[in-house]
Amino acid sequence: MSVLKIEDLQVSVETEQGTKQILRGVDLTIGQGETHAIMGPNGSGKSTLAYAIAGHPKYHVEGGSVTLDGEEMLDLSVDERARAGLFLAMQYPVEIPGVSNANFLRTAKTAIDGAAPPIRSWLKEVDAAMSGLRMDKSFRERNVNEGFSGGEKKRNEILQLELLKPKFAVLDETDSGLDVDALKIVSEGVNRAKEATGMGVLLITHYNRILRYVKPDFVHVFVAGKVAEQGGPELAVRLENEGYDRFLEGSTVG
């Protein structure tokens, strides 16, 4: 049983006004095969949590730990974390001019597995994943995310997820900006990856609608840099109806 364990995580960033504390002691344990949703207001630090787990250099860890099966991830580089089994689907996927999607995927797969995948089975796998996500074949030769629409970028993140097969995936607002059809297609991709690998998922979202397709086992309310409340799927419904006001009283989010 794989476990991703986040304990008392404290993270700051440097801003023009000085050091800003963003995460204020996050505790979260995700077991293999579990889906945890994180919901919270804008600016509460959800993306910071995602970046800190993945190892973005802008986010300074002031304290706490993130372990995968007991191994400290915070000591590892970004690519070592990926090799250990972590994956981040970014809220705003970056464009990589000059690098084709096909090349990028194969290079990433090779780096993570430690050996290049056999070419014929790999191409079949890429084709199957792309058609599952209703991505035209032309996306293989296009540069990573360059000129992609918002929805196409999100599908491309899930394409990476399905092909790289992490132990734990952090999905940062993968549902934002998707129409109903795209939301369903992307959700099905997440569910296929879950079924294929038994991965654990940390799903950051503002909306209950994705949680109708990707069913969470736990829902965490994230406010002012930490988990303010946890519950089951019913908590997501309540948040959508009632908003975050009740959690914001007395918080320092401005």
Residues making contact with Mg ion (CB under 5 A):
42, 46-47, 91
Q: Binding residue for ligand ADP (CB under 6 A) from 12, 44, 145, 197? A: 44
Give the range of 39-47, 69-77, 78-86, 183-191 binding ligand ADP by CB under 6 A.
Answer: 39-47
**Considering only 15-23, 108-116, 155-163, 236-244, which stretch makes contact with ligand ADP by CB under 6 A?**
15-23
Please identify which residue in 10, 35, 47, 197 interacts with ligand ADP, judged by CB under 6 A: 47
Minimum distance from CB of 72 to Mg ion (Å)? 25
- Identify which of residues 46 and 154 has a Cβ nearer to ligand ADP in the complex: 46
If one asks whether residue 22 binds ligand ADP (CB under 6 A), the answer comes out as: yes
Two structure tokens written together for 48: 């910071």
> Taking the complex as a whole, how short is the minimal distance between the CB of residue 43 and ligand ADP, in angstroms?
4
13 is a contact residue toward ligand ADP (CB under 6 A): yes
Closest distance of CB 47 from ligand ADP, Å: 3
For the record, the structure tokens of 236 come out as: 């997501």
Distance in Å, CB of 48 to ligand ADP, minimum = 3
Contact 8, 63 (CB under 8 A): yes
Residue 145 is a binding residue for ligand ADP (CB under 6 A): no
Interface stretch with ligand ADP, choices 37-45, 147-155, 162-170, 193-201 (CB under 6 A): 37-45
Q: Could you tell me whether strands 218-223 and 35-39 are parallel, antiparallel, or unpaired per DSSP bridges?
A: parallel
Minimum gap (Å) between residue 12 Cβ and ligand ADP = 9
Footprint on this chain of ligand ADP (rule: CB under 6 A): 13, 15, 20, 22, 40, 42-48, 58
